[in-house]
A and B are shown apart, each in its own frame.
Chain A
Amino acid sequence: NAGVTQTPKFRILKIGQSMTLQCTQDMNHNYMYWYRQDPGMGLKLIYYSVGAGITDKGEVPNGYNVSRSTTEDFPLRLELAAPSQTSVYFCASTYGGGQGLYYTFGSGTRLTVV
Chain B
Amino acid sequence: DQQVKQNSPSLSVQEGRISILNCDYTNSMFDYFLWYKKYPAEGPTFLISISSIKDKNEDGRFTVFLNKSAKHLSLHIVPSQPGDSAVYFCAARAPPPTDSWGKLQFGAGTQVVVTP
Contact = CB atoms under 8 A, between A and B. Distances in A.
Interface residues of A, number: 25
A4 interface: yes
A40 B87 CA distance: 11
B43 A42 contact: no
Contacts of A108: 41-43
A106 B46 CA distance: 12
Contacts of A45: 103
B46 to A, nearest CB: 5
A20 to B, nearest CB: 19
Contacts, number: 53
B108 A40 contact: yes
B34 to A, nearest CB: 6
B25 interface: no
A42 B108 contact: yes
Most chain B CB inside 10 Å of its own CB: which residue of A48, A90, A100, A108: A100
Contacts of B103: 33, 45, 48, 58
Interface string A93-114: 0001000111111111000000
B4 to A, nearest CB: 8
Contacts of B46: 101-103
A100 B104 CA distance: 9
Contact of A92 (B32, B34, B43, B101): B43
A41 B109 CA distance: 8
Most chain A CB inside 10 Å of its own CB: which residue of B2, B4, B104, B107: B104
Contacts of A4: 43
A107 B42 CA distance: 4
B49 interface: yes
Given A40-B9, A58-B103, A105 B44 contact: yes
A45 B4 CA distance: 13
B89 A42 contact: yes
Contacts of B49: 101-102
Given A43-B106, A105-B44, 4 more contacts: A42-B2, A103-B44, A104-B43, A107-B42
